[in-house]
Structure 1
Amino acid sequence: MERRPEESPSSAFGLVGETVREERYLQVLHPVPAVLARNADEVQRAYQEYQEKALGRTGLRKMYIGTLTLTLFLAVFIAVMLALLLGGQLARPLLMLLQGTKEVAEGDLSPKRELKSRDELGMLTQQFNQMTRQLAEARLAVEENRTALEQSKAYLESVLQNLTAGVLVFDRRFVLITANPGAERIFRQPFGAVLGLPVEQIPGMGPFGEIVRQAFSDQNTSEVLGGAEHWQKQIELPQGEEQPLTLLVRGARLPGGERDEPGYVIVFDDISDVISAQRSVAWGEVARRLAHEIKNPLTPIQLSAERLQMKLSPKLEGTDADVLKRGAATIVNQVAAMKRMVDDFRDYARTPPAMLQSLQLNSLVAEVLHLYGIDDPAVHEHPVIHPTLGTALPEIKGDPTQLRQVIHNLLQNAQDAAAENVAAGRAAPHITLNTETVEYKDSAGENRQAVKLTIADNGPGFAPRILSRAFEPYVTTKAKGTGLGLAMVKKIIDEHGARIELRNRMEGAELVGAQISILFVKLT
């Protein structure tokens, strides 16, 4: 039992002074009951445990706080990961759909990834892919149709570009929409600058437009009566001083779509050459009949005139005798001229077929030039005719007799034309004759050889109106010509399968003569 130090009386009574303290202890040993001792031990042990727990409570609390904090973070992390995972699973189809939409917007219609699920999002991606495939198939079909349309258009344009006939397309107001090169060649004017103009406002197309409008107007009435859906007619258009242009024109309406208005298409050919050939055939028949019907009475007329002169001359004197003599001479001369004309008719109408054989054109030309006093074509000594013969010409197939006639006729015409310069006081007559080997392309586009004969003069040339009909019978610029010379030449050249071309020679804007070229394409 602890004993406190004794306090001095002075301190008890509040006296000030130095106090002396001594610590003294009293130990008393007294036995306690066992129960009390046991209880005291348990209390002591409990107190110690309490003290231990009291000391560990702070650490335990920190441990609980850390554990709970870690558990919270782990729970939040797991929740976030689950959210991300679930969000990814929900957003992936949408992202795939978004990416696919971007690719489709950029024109990529290739197959896209599909979500292998049976929910709504999976079905959405599958339907999107199906839509994409349908779009791809539709675009492929459109591309194929567009390619086919472009090929058809290119083919049609190629056909129109290479078509010899002219093609004009108008809308329902007869405004020009399309014209091919054939139309430009026939009308001799470019239509590219007048597209979009009514036909009446196109230079030189006024008469043509009126005829076409009237033809379609007449077709309207004929269709009511059950007529054809197209029309065809032959028209002749004046060309100023030149030969009128003869066209065979065909027209039809173009079918219009639901919104497109119907238009008109016109196809025409220049049949001036055909008409010329028909006239040649007709003149040939006329010449044959004239040669038969006229020649028979010419000889009796001539004999009668000569007999009258012979019988009456001794009985007449002076003026009467002179009148009889001049009249009989006139009859005889005119009969002789008519006989020559009839002989020309007969020769033109009964030109024998060409007997083709291999021959050298240069040799044939040299034979004809010999008749004009040219013994050696290589020596240019003739004052008018100047030949230049090509070397190593291939042999041609021809009739020597007929070709001699052709060359002689052309040289004679050239001399007559060049002589007009002398009569008019212009340059001295000058004629050139050339032969050469040339190349051309056949219908297959392959290079072929041909022999070309060219004769040119410095005469007055041909008027445009005569030039287009120069090969027709009875078309001539000579005062006493029959007009059968070039017609015979054209007929013989056609028999040989050759080509002939007549044109005026120009130096700038000045006409300096005429030139005729013959191309022999049949070689041995």
Structure 2
Amino acid sequence: MDTHNLYLETILKYSYGVIALNQDKTIQLINPVIGKILQISDESVFVGQSYDSIIENYENLKPLFSFIEEKIDQELTEWSGEIELMLKDRHRLIYCQGATLDVENRNLGYVIIINDISKLHRAQKKAAWGEVAVRMAHEIKNPLTPILLSAQRLRNLFLDKLDSKDSEIINKTTKTIIDQVASMDSMVSAFSDYANTPEIKKVSASLNALVNKAASLYDNQAGVRIDLDLSGDLPKLQLDKDAISRVLINLIKNSIESKKKKTSLNIVIKSRIVKDEGIVRLTIIDNGNSFPTNILDQVFEPYVTTKPKGGGLGLAIVQNIVEQHDGQIYASNVEPHGARVTIEFSIITSQRS
């Protein structure tokens, strides 16, 4: 039994979440990492609880504990799986692995190991989409130049030589071709930007100063009001100023484009230091159109867009830049209507950079 307890005490020190259950499937031990992964302020309240009591108080954790219960009831010695959880309006992908503690054919309980693989999952998807973007950019770019040159040649050859009616037709059709080529060329550039995000160059910078500068670009935007609520005690962060400015401008522009017709738009940008979490949090909130609920957990994925003519790469590039800064970005809706984008930068990471 001493060996058993030593084993449990050792694994509880791991950098991923660990839960130890006794034979009755009641939580016996739990490590602090579980609290961080499952967004629980005091994970110790789980000790001594059963599945049912946990699910009763934490409905959002039901998929996880139902999965654990199912695997234990199947009497498997080892098992694993991925579970999606909604934690504080954020979709998280959790990897769960379990094993029976069996000593001399006696079941002493179960050990459950939990890890948040959301970032890894996004990185894998990003790599796959990056490869698609490179191929698409290559396949689209090749024919654009000859198409453009052909349209320009038609204009040069016939525009001034035909009668007014035919000349007007040539003018309209070739202009349409040239405009569409320019649009596709812009889309190709977006593909390339997503697939080949430039390496960032971090310097010590004030996030508030970058917010002020980005917001000032929209001072005279009709029907739009931007209120800044910026904390004066933010530490300087290690940021690529150009890249973060691009993020801020993109997000403000998205908010403005969500403006409802014949209404004014209010945008509130807040910055706060959250000392107990070791982060600086920036939120951009507007009272425009909300994110469609069916794509809320996908808004940062490539080619997902709410705009009729959107390419769906703007927010994907924004997420790339934030993650290059070891930050995290989330989207959520606000009541009765509106959207919120939250960015979190690690203070510790910034100070070490």
Of 427, 434, 441, which aligns to 2:270? 434
| 1:454 and 2:283 aligned | yes
**% of aligned pairs identical?**
31
- How big is the shift at 1:203? 6.7
Amino acid at match of 1:408: I
Residue number in structure 1 paired with 2:182: 336
Deviations 1:266-312 (Å, cap 9, x if unpaired)? 64545344222211122223223333342232121111122234434
Q: Does the 8 A contact of 1:476 with 1:483 survive in 2?
A: yes
| Worse-matched range after superposition: 335-344 or 280-289 | 280-289
Residue number in structure 1 paired with 2:136: 290
| 1:500 and 2:333 aligned | no
| 1:415 and 2:259 aligned | no
Q: Counterparts of 2:165 and 2:184 in 1: how far apart (Å)?
A: 28
Amino acid at match of 2:268: T
Residue number in structure 1 paired with 2:317: 488
Q: Does the 8 A contact of 1:452 with 1:519 survive in 2?
A: yes
Q: Counterparts of 1:440 and 1:209 in 2: how far apart (Å)?
A: 31
Residue number in structure 2 paired with 1:68: none
1:131-210 residue pairs with structure 2 within 5 A?
152=6, 155=9, 163-164=16-17, 178=27, 182=34, 192=50, 194=52, 208=67
Residue number in structure 1 paired with 2:214: 368
| 1:255 and 2:255 aligned | no
Deviations 1:356-396 (Å, cap 9, x if unpaired)? 2223333333332332237xxxxxx9951112333354333
Find the residue that maps to 1:433 and give its secondary structure: strand
Pick closer, same or farther for the CA change 1:151–1:299 going to 2, 3 Å. Answer: same
Q: Does the 8 A contact of 1:249 with 1:269 survive in 2?
A: yes
- How big is the shift at 1:413? 1.4
Q: Does the 8 A contact of 1:248 with 1:269 survive in 2?
A: yes
| Worse-matched range after superposition: 454-463 or 178-187 | 178-187
Q: Counterparts of 1:369 and 1:184 in 2: how far apart (Å)?
A: 33
Larger strand proportion of the pair? 2
Q: Counterparts of 1:149 and 1:231 in 2: how far apart (Å)?
A: 23
Q: Does the 8 A contact of 2:228 with 2:270 survive in 1?
A: yes
- How big is the shift at 1:339? 0.5
Find the residue that maps to 1:373 and give its secondary structure: coil
Q: Counterparts of 1:501 and 1:405 in 2: how far apart (Å)?
A: 17
Residue number in structure 2 paired with 1:398: 239
Amino acid at match of 1:432: V
Of 341, 349, 353, which aligns to 2:199? 353
- How big is the shift at 1:403? 1.9
Deviations 1:123-146 (Å, cap 9, x if unpaired)? xxxxxxxxxxxxxxxxxxxxxx7x
Q: Does the 8 A contact of 1:500 with 1:517 survive in 2?
A: yes
| 1:517 and 2:336 aligned | no
Q: Does the 8 A contact of 1:170 with 1:263 survive in 2?
A: yes
Q: Does the 8 A contact of 1:177 with 1:195 survive in 2?
A: no
Bigger RCO (CA 8 Å, 6+ sep)? 2
Amino acid at match of 2:132: V
Q: Counterparts of 1:314 and 1:383 in 2: how far apart (Å)?
A: 46
For structure 1, which runs of at least 5 residues remain unmatched after alignment?
1-144, 220-228, 375-380, 443-449
Deviations 1:326-363 (Å, cap 9, x if unpaired)? 43233222211110011112222222222222233333
Q: Counterparts of 1:490 and 1:277 in 2: how far apart (Å)?
A: 11
Pick closer, same or farther for the CA change 1:318–1:397 going to 2, 3 Å. Answer: same
Q: Does the 8 A contact of 1:256 with 1:263 survive in 2?
A: no
TM-score scaled by length of structure 2: 0.71
Q: Does the 8 A contact of 2:224 with 2:256 survive in 1?
A: no
Aligned length: 333
TM-score scaled by length of structure 1: 0.51
Residue number in structure 1 paired with 2:122: 276
Pick closer, same or farther for the CA change 1:474–1:164 going to 2, 3 Å. Answer: farther
Deviations 1:37-83 (Å, cap 9, x if unpaired)? xxxxxxxxxxxxxxxxxxxxxxxxxxxxxxxxxxxxxxxxxxxxxxx
Q: Counterparts of 1:271 and 1:498 in 2: how far apart (Å)?
A: 15
Find the residue that maps to 1:302 and give its secondary structure: helix
Pick closer, same or farther for the CA change 1:170–1:327 going to 2, 3 Å. Answer: farther
Deviations 1:226-258 (Å, cap 9, x if unpaired)? xxx7555x557799xx99975545454542655
Q: Counterparts of 1:277 and 1:464 in 2: how far apart (Å)?
A: 23
Residue number in structure 2 paired with 1:385: 226
Q: Does the 8 A contact of 2:271 with 2:282 survive in 1?
A: yes
Find the residue that maps to 2:265 and give its secondary structure: coil
Q: Does the 8 A contact of 1:502 with 1:517 survive in 2?
A: no
Residue number in structure 1 paired with 2:157: 311
Pick closer, same or farther for the CA change 1:207–1:342 going to 2, 3 Å. Answer: farther
Amino acid at match of 2:340: A
Q: Does the 8 A contact of 2:8 with 2:20 survive in 1?
A: no
User: CA RMSD for the aligned pairs?
Assistant: 4.7
Deviations 1:430-449 (Å, cap 9, x if unpaired)? 0112334442355xxxxxxx
Structure ID, larger Rg: 1
